């Protein structure tokens, strides 16, 4: 009587344990020491996409990417030695081809005599955790980079103003002293005047670059006003018709780091217009959406072949612009053709996030 009750209790316990295993959200997989799948719970089906009928009897390589199979051989070897593997982070492949990051705990299964006959593997999909941690890491890196770049601009602006500014003042004063000496020598007077004109041009260039490098302009004015101010000054400085079109943020404005990045990318795109486009007109569009901001800089200049410029050193600075946009969690696209102008399109999330795909 007692024996029957004990058997009944054992059967009920085993059934209860099986139900717990089957209902677990974690993927729980049994396999032989040769790697053949012997059990496959509901969590495994939800995680990897294969039904138990599809998985049982197959080799565990069914869910292991080719480049991770040597890793699995090592796991099986450790299991044969009786080792348990705790919280091993690796990559597995689902039925639809996606790669997911999982945390594995693998334990040897022993028979009644203590002999190791298989393994039990518990896998938890931690892909979203990994993505979230990577997003935080990249956001911190992005913020640190923006701060470092703005500090460097502050230093350069100060040196331009203090050192070159002083030298230019001394040069202009020297040229003024030469003018009376050249009154009776027209050819010398002409050269002095040319040098004065050049010095004046250099002075204006330096003043513009110092103004352009202002590190706190976005923080003080906001992105829209800072860009309006810059485009107006840029247009006057280079004699190119520049028209800015703005849409206000429908909700929370971009973070300061993102706004600063948009502002600097706009400056770089416009500098490329001056250097390379030979354009008479530029349209700049700043378009805010609930969770993103887009910058479009379109000129009517000479254009170029994007595939050709990709292979050149520097690529008009567009490669660096793409990398900066990607670090901010966005992307940069280039649309251009010889004789048909160029359009630079930047899209960034309002807050720094995971890596986006670059467009050039």
Residues 357 and 236 reside in one and the same domain: yes
240: which 2 tokens?
């190119």
Nearest partner of 31 among 50, 53, 57, 66, judged by Cα: 57
Residues 183 and 140 reside in one and the same domain: yes
Residues 224 and 345 reside in one and the same domain: yes
Number of structural domains in the chain:
3
Residue 360's CATH number: 3.30.565.10
Residue 41 · residue 27 · CB < 8 Å: yes
Residues 197 and 317 reside in one and the same domain: no
Side-chain half-sphere CA neighbours of 84 within 13 A: 8
Residues 188 and 241 reside in one and the same domain: no
Residues 210 and 108 reside in one and the same domain: no
pLDDT in tens, 32-84: 988 999 999 999 999 999 999 999 999 999 999 999 999 988 888 888 888 88
Domain, as residue range, for 53 = 2-125
Nearest partner of 25 among 119, 92, 93, 124, judged by Cα: 124
Residue 178 · residue 192 · CB < 8 Å: yes
Residue ranges in the chain assigned as alpha helix (H): 2-23, 42-48, 52-55, 69-80, 127-159, 165-181, 186-212, 217-221, 223-238, 256-272, 306-309, 318-327
pLDDT in tens, 175-198: 888 888 888 888 888 888 888 888
Q: Which range, 7-21, 248-262, 313-327, 342-356, has the best average confidence (pLDDT)?
A: 248-262
Domain boundary pick from 74, 97, 125 = 125
Residues 274 and 210 reside in one and the same domain: no
pLDDT in tens, 127-167: 988 888 887 787 787 778 777 877 887 787 777 767 777 78
- Whole-number percent of the chain with pLDDT over 70: 88
Nearest partner of 163 among 210, 217, 214, judged by Cα: 210
- pLDDT at position 21: 56
Residues 53 and 70 reside in one and the same domain: yes
Residue 345 · residue 130 · CB < 8 Å: no
């Amino acid at each position: 009587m007692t024996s029957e009750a004990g058997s009944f209790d054992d059967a009920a316990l085993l059934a209860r344990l099986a139900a717990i295993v089957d209902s677990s959200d974690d993927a729980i997989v049994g396999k032989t020491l040769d790697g053949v799948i012997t059990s496959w719970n509901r969590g495994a089906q939800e995680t990897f996409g294969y039904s138990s009928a599809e998985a049982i009897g197959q080799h565990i390589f069914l869910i292991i990417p080719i480049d991770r199979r040597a890793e699995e051989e090592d796991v099986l070897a450790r299991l044969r030695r009786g080792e348990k593997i705790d919280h091993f982070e690796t990559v597995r492949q689902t039925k639809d081809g996606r790669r997911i990051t999982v945390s594995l705990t693998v334990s040897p299964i022993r028979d009644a005599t203590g002999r190791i006959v298989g393994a039990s593997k518990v896998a938890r999909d931690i892909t979203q955790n990994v993505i979230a941690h990577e997003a935080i890491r990249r956001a911190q890196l992005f913020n640190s980079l923006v701060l470092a770049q703005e500090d460097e601009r502050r230093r350069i602006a100060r040196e331009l103003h203090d050192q070159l500014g002083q030298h230019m003042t001394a040069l202009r004063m020297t040229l003024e002293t030469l003018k009376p000496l050249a009154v009776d020598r027209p050819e010398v007077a002409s050269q002095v005047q040319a040098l004065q004109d050049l010095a004046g041009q250099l002075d204006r260039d330096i003043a513009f670059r110092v103004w352009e490098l202002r590190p706190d302009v976005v923080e003080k004015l906001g992105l829209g006003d800072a860009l309006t101010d810059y485009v107006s000054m840029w247009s006057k400085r280079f004699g190119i018709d520049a028209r800015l079109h703005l849409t206000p943020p429908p909700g929370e404005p971009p973070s300061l780091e993102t706004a600063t990045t948009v502002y600097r990318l706009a400056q770089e795109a416009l500098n490329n217009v001056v250097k390379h486009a030979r354009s008479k007109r530029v349209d700049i569009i700043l378009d805010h959406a609930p969770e993103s901001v887009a910058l479009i800089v379109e000129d009517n200049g000479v254009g170029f072949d994007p595939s050709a410029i990709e292979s050149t050193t520097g690529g008009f600075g567009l490669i660096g612009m793409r990398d900066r946009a990607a670090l901010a969690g966005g992307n940069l696209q280039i649309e251009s053709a010889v004789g048909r102008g160029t359009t630079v399109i930047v899209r960034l999330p309002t807050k720094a996030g995971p890596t986006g795909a670059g467009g050039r």
